[in-house]
Amino acid sequence: GAVVSQHPSWVICKSGTSVKIECRSLDFQATTMFWYRQFPKQSLMLMATSNEGSKATYEQGVEKDKFLINHASLTLSTLTVTSAHPEDSSFYICSAPAWTGATDTQYFGPGTRLTVL
Amino acid sequence: AQSVTQLDSQVPVFEEAPVELRCNYSSSVSVYLFWYVQYPNQGLQLLLKYLSGSTLVKGINGFEAEFNKSQTSFHLRKPSVHISDTAEYFCAVSVKAAGNKLTFGGGTRVLVKP
C-alpha cells in the first residue's frame, strides 16, 4: 500500500518559536495533501488542503498566517506553526490520496506530536 | 454536507468475544465509506473501504463491514477480538464532488479485556 511519512514524530519547543513539520508520500505522487489536527481523545479535524504549485485551502476558523502550508513538490508538503503557543500543542497528522480504481483513498502519516512550553 | 455518527464512544469487550462498531452517515449524494484504526500515538491505518459492488467488505486483521444504503449505515464487525485490537476506530465518508475530503465520525474506543 501507499506509504506516507512525517517528520519529526515529536517536537518540543518554546512559546514564540516556529516549528516545521514535513509530510512525504514515499512511493507515490500527490498533488493534494491534507493536514489534520487531533486533540486528546477526539476525532481528527481537517485544517487545510495542501495543493502542489498553488496556495493551500484552509478550513473555516483556521488561521492561515499561523499555520503556513507549502506544497513544494509532488511528494512533499510542509506545515509550519508560526509563533507557537501552548494552545497549539496537539497531534498533527497529514494524509495523501492515492488512486485506488474508483476513488482516492487517503493514506495517513504517523503523526507529529507538538508540545509548546 | 456529509456527517458521520459513531453511536458508541467506548466499547469494552472481552478477548475472543465478537465486537460490532456502529456507524451511520448522512449525505444527499452517494458516498464512499471507510474504516480506519488508530493505535496510541500513531496515525490512521486503513482497515477497509466500500466503493461499490458487494455490500459486505472484508478488511485487514479479520474485520469486515456491511454497507446498508437504506439504513445509511456501515457497521464494523469482528467475530473474535484480540488484546491487540485495543485502539480507536474511526468511520469516515468521502464524496467525489467534495474533492474526496474525508468527514470523520467521533471515533469509538475499543478496549479488549483479558
Among the partner residues A6, A97, A105, nearest to B49 by beta-carbon distance: A105
- All cell numbers assigned to B4: 458521520
Among the partner residues B43, B101, B109, nearest to A93 by beta-carbon distance: B43
Q: What are phi and psi of A38, to 5 degrees?
A: -135, 120
Distance (Å, whole) CA B109 – CA B114: 16
pLDDT tens per residue, range B73-99: 999 999 999 999 999 999 999 887 666
Residues in B closer than 8 angstroms to A32, CB to CB, are: 99
pLDDT tens per residue, range B39-51: 988 889 999 999 8
Cβ within 8 Å of residue B28, ≥6 positions away: none
pLDDT at A12 over 70: yes
Question: Is A106–B100 a contact, with Cβ atoms under 8 angstroms apart?
Answer: yes
Residue A102 — pLDDT band, cuts 50, 70, 90?
low
pLDDT at A40 over 70: yes
pLDDT tens per residue, range B100-109: 788 999 999 9
| Residue whose grid cell is 458508541 | B8
- All cell numbers assigned to B46: 486503513
Cα(first)–Cα(last) distance of chain B, in Å? 41
pLDDT average, residue stretch A63-86 = 95
Question: Is A108–B104 a contact, with Cβ atoms under 8 angstroms apart?
Answer: no
pLDDT average, residue stretch B19-29 = 95
Q: Which parts of A1-109 are beta strand (E)?
A: 4-7, 10-13, 19-25, 32-38, 44-51, 57-58, 67-73, 76-81, 90-99, 104-108
Residues in B closer than 8 angstroms to A111, CB to CB, are: 41-43
Question: Is B94–A109 a contact, with Cβ atoms under 8 angstroms apart?
Answer: no
pLDDT at B23 over 80: yes
- All cell numbers assigned to B32: 464512499
Q: At B44, which helix (H) or strand (E)?
A: strand B44-50
The pLDDT assigned to B97 comes to: 65
Cβ within 8 Å of residue B35, ≥6 positions away: B21, B23, B46, B47, B48, B49, B59, B63, B65, B74, B76, B89, B90, B91, B92
**By the CB < 8 Å criterion, does A54 face chain B?**
no
Question: Is A113–B109 a contact, with Cβ atoms under 8 angstroms apart?
Answer: no
